[in-house]
Amino acid sequence: MMPAIGYAVRRENRFILSDPKLNAAEITFEHADLPLWTKSFISGDDIDYVAIHALKLSVGSPDPPGKAYLDALKAVAIENNATAISDHLGFTRDGEGGIEMGHFAPVPLTQPALDVVCRNLDFVQKYVDPFPFYIETIAYLFQLEGTMSEPEFLKKMFQRTGVGWLLDITNVYANGRNFGFDPKEFVEEVMPYAPRVQMHLAGGFFDEEQGLYFDTHSQPIPDDVWDLYEYSLKLGQGKVDAVFIERDAEFPGEEEWRRELHKMYDLAEGTSSGQATVNS
Ligand SMILES: [Fe+2]
């Protein structure tokens, strides 16, 4: 199965929506009220798959997400004839109406946190039905104390909720590099439990002074991330629905926008036709 191929739409890459190798677009919900992101903007460009990507459901918070936010999210999905909706596994506030941190924090890898996340995901999935929902695993620079590994947490979450996995390849690469685990083993362990998959790709940089990789969405996608992407496509064959590149800063010229899109397409095509090789 060939996944839908696209970009997370930004002002700077909207011209690329007419590229013949692009048939998917991801719209960030928080920007969807701008005229730039509306239905009229993406219609007529042979886009088969539109994902609405939200930032503030905060499914790791103790309270379930607010209904006003969910109503608006669903309305934008309907308006854009969306295929799917997504947000991140983490928390951005302490509770509904509480303090917003403006960034995703990782959930503690504990049974009570798993119960809360699953309850919130069940709630969200019912609310946004019939749109399938995907949860993105985030990049983190710290981990809260826990009682299980991240793959264990994710496997149980997928089994209990049936939620889709938005596998951000660069996030797994960054976490593996920063916390000393093998990203390929991580994907190998979790992938069988994800019922359906979307992917993100992006490029960041390694800060020598801090000894950390930062997923800044500001650089070309590194070779190791392309390698992990190809590997993950192979592991997820038959259930990867869509893949998107995210770029949010230091925007490239047209040639580079197209180069990365075409590379993403070619690797997916090679995998779906059985030509890709997986080197573990
Ligand atoms: Fe992402």
Is 278 contained in some domain? no
Q: Find the 129 Cα to ligand 1 centroid distance in Å.
A: 23
| Nearest by Cα to 245 from 142, 169, 131, 184 | 169
Rounding to the nearest 10 degrees, give the CA dihedral for residues 130, 134, 135, 136. -150
Domain limits for position 19? 4-272
Model pLDDT for residues 118-164, shown as the tens digit of each residue: 999 999 999 999 999 999 999 999 988 899 999 999 999 999 999 99
Residue 264 sits in a domain whose CATH number is: 3.20.20.150
Q: For residue 278, is pLDDT > 50?
A: no
- What's the pLDDT at 279? 44
Q: Kindly state whether residue 55 falls inside one of the protein's structural domains.
A: yes
Asked whether the predicted pLDDT for residue 240 surpasses 70, the reply is yes
| Residue 145 confidence (pLDDT) | 87
Position with higher pLDDT, 93 vs 25: 25
How many A from CA of 166 to the centre of ligand 1?
8
Measured CA to CA, the distance from residue 59 to residue 162 in angstroms comes to 15
Give the end-to-end CA distance of the chain in Å, rounded to a whole number. 22
Is residue 119, in this structure, part of any structural domain at all? yes
pLDDT at 13 over 70: yes
Phi, psi of 178 (to 5 degrees): -80, -25
Please give the tally of structural domains in the chain: 1
Q: What is the pLDDT of residue 10?
A: 85
Cα of 198 from ligand 1 centre, angstroms: 10
- State residue 110's pLDDT score: 97
Whole-number Å distance, alpha carbon 108 to ligand 1 midpoint, is 20
Asked whether residue 56 is assigned to any structural domain, the reply reads yes
Per-residue CA distances from 145 to 109, 148, 150, 265 (Å):
7, 9, 11, 39
pTM over 0.85: yes
Q: Mean of the pLDDT values across residues 256-262? A: 95
Instruction: Kindly state whether residue 59 falls inside one of the protein's structural domains.
Output: yes
DSSP for 71-134, written as a single string:
HHHHHHHHHTT-SEEEEEESEEESSTTS-EEEEEEPPPSSHHHHHHHHHHHHHHHHHHTTS-EE
- For the record, the structure tokens of 22 come out as 């692009």
- Taking the centre of ligand 1 as the mean of its atom positions, its distance from the CA of residue 56, in whole angstroms, is 14
Compute, in angstroms, the gap from residue 71 CA to the centroid of ligand 1.
23
Highest mean pLDDT among 30-34, 54-58, 80-84, 157-161: 157-161
Ligand 1 centroid to residue 168 C-alpha, Å: 5
pLDDT of residue 174: 97
The Å distance, Cα 50 to ligand 1 centre, comes to 15
Is 101 within the bounds of a domain?
yes
Assigned domain for 120 exists: yes
> Is the residue at 279 inside a domain?
no
- DSSP 3-state helix, strand, coil percentages of the chain (rounded to 5)? 40, 20, 40
**What is the distance between the alpha carbons of residues 280 and 277, in angstroms, rounded to a whole number?**
10
